[in-house]
Each structure stands twice: as C-alpha cells, then as structure tokens.
Structure 1
C-alpha cells in the first residue's frame, strides 16, 4: 500500500518495458544513412518496415509510399486537419471522445469540432445537416474513452454518411494493437477510399509514448503531399526511426511481443474489473485500450457535482481519474480509469475510490 498520489488518468502502457528492454539496450548497427536527414515522408527503410506491419495489424494492404512519418499520432492528426480544413470548417466527432482532439483537430487549423451524441449514421447525418461547411468526420477507433471496438457494419455506415455528404473520414487507430477482447476491425479494411486517412503510432501498442513516432496513411496524393510539406517541422529523429525499424524487422520477436502484450492487457483488465465488482463500482465493459469507463452517475447527477467529486478524489483520496466532462460526455458521472500499470496501484486506487464514495 502507498500513501502517495496515484494517477490513473493518463493513458500510458506501463506493462511492456521488461519485454522491450533487451531490444532497446542491445548493441545496434547504425549506418551513415541512419544519422542523416531523411526523406520528408520519413526514412524509406522505416516506412518499408511499417507497411507490412500495418498490413497485418489492419488486415488490409498498406503501401509504404502511402505513409508519412511524424513525431507522434497527435501531430499526424493536427497536420492532417491543417491540410484538410480552412478556418471555420467543421469536423464531426461522436462523443465521448479523447479531449486531445480539441487541440489536434481545431487548434492550428481553426476548424470547428461538431459533437455528435453517438457514432450512429443517424446522429452523424443530423450533425452534418445542422451545420455548415462540414469538411470531415473523425473517429478514434478503438474508442477512447469507452474502449469499444467498432464493428465493420458500424464503420461502413459511417463511411456511407461521409460519402453521401462528400466528406473526408479521419480515423485515429492508435489503439489498434491494444484490443484485449475480440478482434480489431480497421477502417482500412472496412472503408477503402482515397478520402480515408488513418493515423497510428508506437505510443500505446508498444508502450513507447516518449519516443514520439506516428504515421499517417492516406491513398490521397494531394492530402499526402500537403502533410508531407509540413512534416519537416515535425520529424521523428533518424535514430528513433532506425531503432523502431529494427524492432519491426525482427518478426519472430515481434510476434511474441504482440501476443504477450495482448495477454498482459487482458489480465490487467480482468483484474481491474474483478476489483471494481468486489468494491461495488459500476463500469462499462471494454474490449480495447488501456482504460475503461466507470459509471459513477449515482454520485454525480450534474456536471457541477462531477467537478466537485473529481476535486475530492484528488485532494481527499489522492487519486486522479479523468472525468467524463473532459471527454465531452453528454451525461455527468462517468470517469476514465487507466489500468495498464502496476496491479497493486490499481487495487489501492479502487479501494480509495470505494471508501470516498461511501463517505459521499
């Protein structure tokens, strides 16, 4: 047990370093080419390694020439939005959604995020028809914070709405390899289109958030050129690309790593849900991601009450959970709990949460 502050609000994967450590610390052969400037789309050898990896992950053919390497998935989303949108253009995003999209999609681009109450075709269509100058629909798939995996029918329905309104479809698939229950369905497989743009990175599936490497995949040459023109301001380092290239090329190690990473994530989810159930705390079942969504609606009937509970959890229970308001939830009382960390800390945080809720 610890008396310190426990942060379960940050979506980082702390379950994998012992698997990565031998590879990250092993002697490496670095060539002169690995120390120089790279192509503006990213190192050709790195993109050549990423393409077959994503082809397997997405179960769809990925061409290395359709990839642009950037310093993180968030940067890829931000650069894409700047390429697609004029100031004031709208991007429809189903709620709840990762709050980072506010800055990524609407910061530099000055686009408007238009929330839709859910991912249904009806909700998206209504949001589009109720607004002007809508340019795109954006999804985080699997969903953050819900941990839901969208099925093929859902993705195809979203795509039909995009096609009907002549919109781009943006999919952030940074949790594609972090599915612990069932199978991931990529938009690349369900919605092949030159108006589909997908981002992925090493932060979540590999637990390498500090390495800041993401990729954009698009078959749209005009969009790719626009993103590539901006990429020199957001390059991933040549050495990091070389390191990750060599990880991906060791296919035997990679297969074992992915299998063990998924098993550990599933175990962490099962341990967390068991502890929540024992403590009498409700949650929404999840199938992917490093988190699940707690249902504390009985303790916070308004967003004012949610804010007060959030503050009390931080100051009295000394735990950090991300409240639903930060994800633009339409209903107060939901919290994202990130469980991909030391199991004893998660159990301690749940015990503190349960005790604080009883005092409320």
Structure 2
C-alpha cells in the first residue's frame, strides 16, 4: 500500500468514528506540495494534516536562548480500549503512563502502567510512583512502600533502572521539570496515601530538587498546609520551571516558592489555575471550566479575556498544540445526566466541533499522565 492510499484510508476511518469534515483526505493530500508523507500528524487548524515532525523550543533556563529540536506530532489513538492498550498521542503531548486507583477510607493505592516503546503499548510496572521526562526518553520511579529514600532513573527503551539516586529525606511523589533536567521530589514523614487515626494527619516535610545529570540533591523543609485536608500535598513546577508551587483548597489555589523554598509572588494566570490544561503553548489562551449548569469547558484569550471557544467537555486535560486540546468527554448528548461519568479522552479543536476519539469509554478508575514528546 503506498503512502497516499494509507493516508486516505486513515482519514476516512476517522470520518466514520468522529466528527471530522468530509473530504479531509483529499484536502490533506493536496497540501502535501510534493513532499513524502511518512506519518499522519496533527497540526494547527482543525482540518490540517501535516507530515513528519514539528519543532519546539527547549533549554530556556537561566535566560539561555531556546534550542529547537524536532518533535514527533503523529496522531496515535486506541478508541476501542480504556485504559488504552496501544500508544496514545496527539500533537506535542503523549499519554506516557497511567495508573488504576483503588481506595478505601484508610488507604489509596495505584497500579501503574508505563509506555513501552518496544511493544507500542503500556506495560504494568511495580513502582509506587513515577513520572516520565519530556521527550519520553527517561522516567523517574519510586519503589514502595512509600515514602522511600531513593529515586530510580529508568531508560524508557529498555524499561530498566540505569541508576539510583539516594535521598536524605523520604520521598512520596516526584515531577520532572519542564526542561527535563531536574526532578522535584516531595518528601513525607509517612505514607501520603494513608489516612491517620484522625480525619486529617499531614505528613509533608518538604521537597528535594535533583539535578539529574550531576545527581546532586538539595532538601528544603516546607511543611504541609494545615488548612488543606488532603494528606497528599505534592509540589509542582511553574510553567517556566523557575518556581515551584504547593496546592491549596481555596483561591488562590497555588502558593509559589523559589527553588530554595522562599515564598514568591505567582506568575500571571497561574495562581488560580484549576483546570489541568492551563495556558496554551504560545501563552495566549487559557483553558477553564465552563459556566453552570455544565459539564462544559471554555477557552479564553488571556490578553482580552474574550471567550474564543466553548467545548462540550467535562475537562480540558492538556494542550496538543495552540488550537487543539486533549479533553475528557462524556457520551454524546449525555453530559449532565447519568452518562456524565462514562467518559473517554478525545482530541478537540477550540470551537468544539471537531472531535477525534483517543481512547474508549470507561466509568472512572484510571488516571492518564501526559508528557511533552
């Protein structure tokens, strides 16, 4: 089968399974301008299908100029399964891992599944916590039971830990920096997913910033928020990677700190962020929950505050590019009724009119992890 035939068949299959404009295959082929198409790729514009890879800027820490590197933007879906069995990705992000949660009043446990490039699917792994680095080359893992006093750096190709980094304080959660050079480790005195004998028993002790290349780790004490009733209070990175934040239950929903633990004013539009997608890659738009009665989502222009799109979704999870998002959507015409929590991941444009299924439907129970490719 030649490339044009394969591309045409793929796009016509989408038209049957999702709300995709008719004649999309012909339009995509006309846009090839003589170039060989190796993969179906997501790009700017609801009906635009481009070939090959895109490019993004990385390496912007400490005021250094951005360094461009190619990023695979090919579209991968598994609309028949939830959680997915095959690799799922759209635009600049990929579903790099997911966990299946199980809980009771005393303890919440996670079973993790990690993307395995060798099989093209997801592999059950024994770790108690993990996060995948931008570029999908490495993962950081914590072995159980939590908290633990070492972090493993795992090679995604071999699915093996290449080395362990010892810690001076016990870790219960971790997150890669946006540039993939540092790890932010949240430390705990006891298991953050286990409730104490009282309704609330905080356990967070602080955080560790690890330079992955040098393996140097620095601990900073920053205790749990007594007003936050959640026992797990993991730190996260600001959008630029220059600050970290701690979660709050009331507005503003994030308190910001320097990498040394000093309180800092919030970056614009980040303190009150609740929706996971947040600010678009170009910094011009922001994803938000829609007005009642919902479920519904909206995207606003950050400069003018003007609403640029409404989507019939429950939640916007990640930006695929500047005009498409990965969202959580319920059954058609069932949002707000008993079908609200029977949902799937989809790719959607700003207008909410072009929707491509990424996974099958499932009633809760699993949580995807998205990583920049």
TM-score (normalised: structure 2): 0.25
| Higher normalized strand content (fraction of residues) | 2
